[in-house]
Structure 1
Amino acid sequence: MIDTRNKQIALLLSETIATRITMFMSVPFLMIYLSNRFHFSATELSLIIGINPLCTVIFGPLGGRLTDKISRSKTLYIVPFFWGLIFLSFAAASTFPVFLLLNGLNGICYVTYESTVKKVLSFNSTLNNRKLVFNLRYTCLAVGAFLGPLLQLLFPKTSTAHMYVLLGGTYLVSALLNRCFFKDCPPAEKTPPINTAASSATDRKNLLLFLCFLLGIAFSYFAYAQSQSTVSLFFTSKEFGVGGNSKYSLMLSMNALLILILQFPVLRVTQRFPPLKLLMLSNVLFSFSLLLTPQSSNWGYFLVMVLSFSLGEVLLGSNFDYSVDSFSTEENKGLYFGLSETVRIGNTIGPIVGGLLIEASPSGGFKEIFIILSLITLVGQLFLWLYGKNIRINQH
């Protein structure tokens, strides 16, 4: 007989695949839909798209803290239900303020639900298989990102609005399933503090250490964000040469495929290494891939660049959530998982810095631009090293 906790883990992982497939059938095409259907200006489009990660970063700690205060069973039902209604509203919306509001609420729901799911997966898994569970979820996310755009091609005449109806319906079904399967999911156990003053001082110190860790990881996200901004601009530039569009599409497809192929072999090989060391290696691999990008018109450099980028992404995805879980306690897992979403500030800053460097560079100069981006990425090593050093001091 399958343990109830294993059933709950299996349900959450299955829902992750279903929701991510439908999400990638709709969300990546939102800007095209808004531009073609409603003819919003470039500024309005940027604000609608940009408010989502902004809300994710701003409300991350609050959303995570809510999951520590409210019963997990309620959060697993209420948030996806409300989220589903928001996605259904996308199909009926038609004005700029409404789309702005909806995508902002989308970001708030995302960070709250992500914190809850990660927290439940942590509570429902043992210490020995926790890293495997987090890696399985990362695989589910990768499968959704890979299949979603492909399945969207099967419905060329279906509008993005209808895809959002499908996405909203998927979340409503998830909410109902969670309502049935998580009826007896209790809130996190609370233990009374022994020494309030000492406990508060320790909590503040741990929080500062954790923020140092997140800052280091944000530089990896800074590098990751270049793949959809500065790198794409380079591949379509005169400096790259002929066939840049096709090669960029190939890069994206190879990246998605390599992640699915490499994840579990890499997990098996690296399981004896500390997660922090692997996250530092991930940062170096991202930096190295950016350094190789200007030479990627050559097939050899191109293949090494894509492999380096994909390995960096696998190591980041495989170890980040597990590291956050290891750092937190039962009472504050939601807060720490919510705070962990602030690393996505790198996703916002990365394209901005890349764009500024392109504008400041005379006649393109992509080689110098990618050297600078590569060096900026390596700044993350300093913060991860400081984090690791302080952790070792605390342990002694």
Structure 2
Amino acid sequence: MTPAGSKLWKFKFRNKLGAEKKLSLGAYPDLSLKEARELRDAARNKVARGIDPAEQKQRDKRAAKISAANSFEAVAKAYIAKNERDGLAEATVRKRRWFLDIVRKPLGARPIAEIEPYEILDAVRPFEAAKNDEKAHRTLQFIGQVFRYAVANQIAGSDPTRDLRGALSSRKPKHHAAILEPVKVGGLMRAIDGYDGQPITQFALRLSPYVFVRPGELRRAEWSEIDLEGAVWRIPAAKMKGRQEHAVPLASQSLAVLKQAQELTGDGQYVFPSIRSRRNPMSENTVNAALRRLGFGSDEMTAHGFRAMASTLLNESGKWSADAIERALAHKDKDHIRAAYHRGAHWQERVEMAQWWADYLDMLRDGADVIPISNNVAAG
């Protein structure tokens, strides 16, 4: 009994050093006599085994507090912050934030060390049920990355996603639709010339086939990266998938498009700003939407398809080395020494290739007789 009138159950005991201690079991009548005796007996059993129940209670409280602070969301944010410090591409970091957003409701508030495999499956199964197998697999992959970060930092004991291999439907490879036949490429170029949508979208659409960079690199292009006098666009490493600066030689046709765009957006940050706010780049769906408006279905041509189109036709031409084409596509060479050499070794070839490619596209657009390019090269 306390002076304030509270009625508390306490267990008095001596620890293994002989010191007298008390363990609070709870308040009466919230804790009945029967329940208090059961807790007392459990504490007495611990004392008999050399365990101090009062100290263990405090350790358990601290562990619970730490566990609550280390929610999945908190750990995921720390992991993403590390990605930024490590210099991962901006697109990669942004994508991981997006994955966190879509699992925040089912997993965000849960202490990461307490999350069970079935909870993870419950978080990703809706995507599988919607027949979006790729989204389900990539979300599961992100969750696993967060858990492995937690394990490495001793926040969680293990990665439960390891036990979920094979639990989801097999992922079907996703291919970006592209037009690869020269005659059809000519039709595509004529359609692009006839696009009558927003001017900024027109410029982005017209530039896409000439430079064949990734759609995210195009839409987030900044004027500070483009040297019109030097005819080069230098994309910072932070924006690149391979996290290496990428220089894009600009053909005369590309320069003409950019100079037109400069009259409209040159006083801002982005070459292709959003129509809603010039402080943001255009939407990632803008070029694809323009292609749909021109009548090209998603199974026929995509914004990413300009890369496959260039890769296929440049290789088929036989005029350019495979290394120069790979560098133009910014494909990362796993051999770092080889990569360092090839970044500079093919620059002049890439400059010539950029102009040849732009001229070839214009020839197809203008409806010239299309001779198989491999035969054309042999004849020349």
**TM-score after normalising by structure 1:** 0.23
Larger RCO (CA within 8 A; separation ≥ 6): 1
More strand by share: 2
Max radius of gyration: which structure? 2
**TM-score after normalising by structure 2:** 0.23
